[in-house]
Amino acid sequence: MSLFSKLNLELRRRTHSVVPAEAMLLEPASAPGLNDLRERLDRWGQLWSAGKESPDTSAQELITERLTHWMRLCFGERMPTSLHGNGDPVSLSSSMPILTAFLGRRATRELSRRVLQGI
Amino acid sequence: MDASQARETTIQAYQLHASALSAYVRGLTRNEPLAQDAVQETFLRLFLTLMQGEDIKSTGAWLHRIAHHYISETLKSTTVRKAVSLDDAPEERLRDDRANPGSDRVSEWVESARLLLAPREWECVQLRAEGFDYTEIAEELAIRPGTVGALLHRATEKLRKRLRQRESPE
């Protein structure tokens, strides 16, 4: 049995075992965590469907660059341009349907997380 | 769902489930920084999933599943040094320079796949490509999830065989 299998087994065992005593002490959701989450969601929400008129150009460029890279990997060199022939940059909202069809929901979610990494 | 709705739903879910989720991941990891990361990452994934238009029936169960998966993957990547990155996607297998690029190539391939597969297999592949999971496909086609797995496996084998034949036509 590999190390990871053992670890995974241990995790599952813990999941189904009696909940540890400290886990029962529920604390209120932390304010810094919530504030950080709010900030990120605001930013990501703005960038999700932003095109040329995006207020944050550098972040939008980074997203376009990463998405184009992934779409090239998935569909080949000319696919991004054939999908966006009207000159609009590739955005998360416009590329999600094709990526979901090609990769499935879970992989697309992880891909969008990577595209938004550090933003 | 638009961005503001997804944001509000995520914030509400945080206020409702963050404490229980924190306790759960702390119990799993016994590692405070990792637990905090896991909670944040789980809610960020909830937002991304909502933005993808997915309908989540039981938010609490979904969050716990994602957090568990995140921790398991993180422990795996720190334990197993040779983690395989998504950057290593098999680009050369996906690209076929001989064929016409763009939508022509895709529709040609889709058409050949449709002809190759049995109708039931084709339906399964289509639903899978739209992002349905095994249970949802089973509900849609009124068959058991195990049958969905078998049909998809058979379809994948046929498509693989066809790809191999295309790559080395002897």
Quick one: pLDDT at residue A119? Answer: 83
Quick one: pLDDT at residue A100? Answer: 87
Q: For residue B32, what are the CA distances in angstroms to B26, B35, B40, B145? A: 6, 5, 12, 38
Whether the CB-CB separation of B113 and B161 falls below 8 Å is answered with no
Partner-chain contact B52 A108, CB within 8 Å: yes
The model's confidence at residue B57, banded by pLDDT at 50, 70 and 90, is confident
State yes or no: pLDDT of A99 exceeds 90.
Answer: no
Look at chain B and report how many structural domains it folds into: 2
Quick one: pLDDT at residue B48? Answer: 93
Asked, for residue B94, whether it belongs to a domain, the answer is no
Say whether both B23 and B74 belong to one domain. yes
CATH of the domain at B62: 1.10.1740
Tell whether pTM > 0.95.
no
Average pLDDT over residues B52-62: 87
Tokens of A5: 């299998």
A104-116 tens-digit pLDDT: 888 899 999 999 9
Backbone angles phi, psi at B147, to 5 degrees: -65, -35
Burial A69-92 (b: 16+ CB within 10 A, else e): ebbbbbbbeebbeebbeeeebbbb
CATH of the domain at B104: 1.10.10.10
Asked, for residue B39, whether it belongs to a domain, the answer is yes
The model's confidence at residue B81, banded by pLDDT at 50, 70 and 90, is very low
Q: Which residue has the higher pLDDT, A110 or A73?
A: A110
Burial class (CB in 10 A: 0-12, 13-18, 19+), A27: exposed
Average pLDDT over residues B73-81: 67
Quick one: pLDDT at residue B49? Answer: 93
Residue type, position A67, single letter: L
A9-52 tens-digit pLDDT: 555 555 444 444 444 445 555 667 888 899 999 999 888 877 65
Partner-chain contact A26 B19, CB within 8 Å: yes
Q: Which domain holds residue B36?
A: 3-79
Say whether residue A117 is in contact with chain B using an 8 A CB cutoff: no
The backbone region for B54, taken as left when phi is positive above 0, alpha when psi lies in -120 to 50, beta otherwise, is beta
Give this complex's ipTM. 0.70
Partner-chain contact A8 B72, CB within 8 Å: yes
Q: In 3D, which of B47, B61, B55, B66 has the Cα closest to residue B5?
A: B47
Say whether residue A82 is in contact with chain B using an 8 A CB cutoff: yes
| 3-state SS assignment for residue A50 | coil
B97-118 tens-digit pLDDT: 444 445 556 666 777 777 888 8
Asked, for residue B89, whether it belongs to a domain, the answer is no
